[in-house]
Amino acid sequence: MDPVPALLAMTYRALGDQFHDRLRQIGLEPLRPAHGYVFRFLKERRATTVDIGAHLGVTKQAAAKIVAELDEWGYVLREPHPTDRRAQYVALTTKGRDYLKLADNLWADLEGEMAEAIGAATLDTVKQGLTAYLRHVHGDDQPGLRPVW
């Protein structure tokens, strides 16, 4: 049997692949996992491209490319920064917030399918165990969802 970290990574990949397959079936833009991390990061805040790049662990140029794609598709808008003329704030649009609701529903569907596959009680135990482990490692200061490149 594979070690737990490998099983977690393979499960995350399988869920992500299913999620993106469903996005393609719906006919949305060719969103990638990096876009999803930006949506989640911007859910509660507006941020600069530099902030987004730091969150993703990518260069400012790579973050700017992701922001440009999301802007072109209407998921984000760019606003002037109040104190730095070179910077812009990036915020979700209504379309971006609607996408987050859709994504949450798709993830809930996938979680439901996982519960069918392994049993609801087993899934609850897995969730409790993972939550306890994260609390053990990070205490009450849980990190936000970030990519692991």
Q: How far apart are CA 15 and CA 2, in angstroms?
A: 18
Q: How far apart are CA 100 and CA 105, in angstroms?
A: 9
- Note the pTM of the prediction, 2 decimals: 0.86
Structure tokens at 141: 């200061």
Structure tokens at 137: 């490692």
Secondary structure class of 92 (helix, strand, coil) = strand
113-109-56-4 Cα dihedral, nearest 10 degrees: -20
Provide CATH code, domain 4-137: 1.10.10.10
Q: What confidence score (pLDDT) does residue 98 get?
A: 97
- Note the pLDDT tens digit of each residue in 19-50: 999 999 999 888 999 999 999 999 999 999 99
Secondary structure class of 79 (helix, strand, coil) = strand
Residue 50 near residue 87, CB atoms below 8 Å: yes
Please check the confidence at residue 149 and state whether its pLDDT lies above 70.
no
Q: How far apart are CA 135 and CA 85, in angstroms?
A: 41
Task: Please count the CA atoms within 13 angstroms of the CA of 43 that sit on its side-chain side.
Answer: 14
32 versus 119: which is more confidently predicted? 119
- Note the pLDDT tens digit of each residue in 79-115: 998 888 888 999 999 999 999 999 999 999 999 999 9
